[in-house]
Amino acid sequence: MFRFFAVALTFVCLLLGSQISAAPTNEIVARQIGNLQCNVDRLSIVAGLAKTQKTLKGLTASDDATASSVQSVIDSISGAQGAIGVIGKALFTGATAPADARTQVQGNLTAAAGALSAISSTDATTAAGLKQALSELAGAATAGEGVVANCK
């Protein structure tokens, strides 16, 4: 949870126009700070992943296989959050965000979506929670696509 707030604070600072003095060129500074839509997308992916993870942690799994699969999705989301944290730290310090961190975010989101889509449950409450988590994860992924499109 602390990581979420740290990354969110980083993006809020950037959203409010904090200057990054360590960046080598104006182009990198502009990309790092981003425009309004870029920063909305950044905040949306962070918030969306945290919300999805909270939903998944609140599920009462109807069987051990479901519980194990849900934990796998949670682990993939944590991996994406960790990579986003690396990107956020780079943005905050004025460094160029590592390209492999973006790849890690994408890979973890793809893994989470695939694993979550494959989970089914006969328990109505668990099934509804899985459906909600899938919708939340899709929203976070859409925000991630927005980051790629709008944060150049």
Architecture per CATH, 2-150: Up-down Bundle (1.20)
Distance CA 84, CA 6 (A): 11
Over the chain (152 residues), the average pLDDT of each successive run of 10 is: 50 44 47 80 96 90 79 96 94 87 95 95 88 96 93 79
Q: Is 39:92 a contact under the CB 8 Å cutoff?
A: no
SS3 at position 18: coil
For the chain, what's the residue count? 152
- Other CB atoms within 10 Å distance of the CB of residue 149: 11
Task: Give tens-digit pLDDT for 61-105.
Answer: 666 778 889 999 999 999 999 999 999 999 888 888 898 999 999
Domain boundaries, the chain: 2-150
Query: What is the token pair recorded at 41?
Result: 């997308």
Is pTM beyond 0.95? Reply is no
Query: What is the token pair recorded at 62?
Result: 């109807």
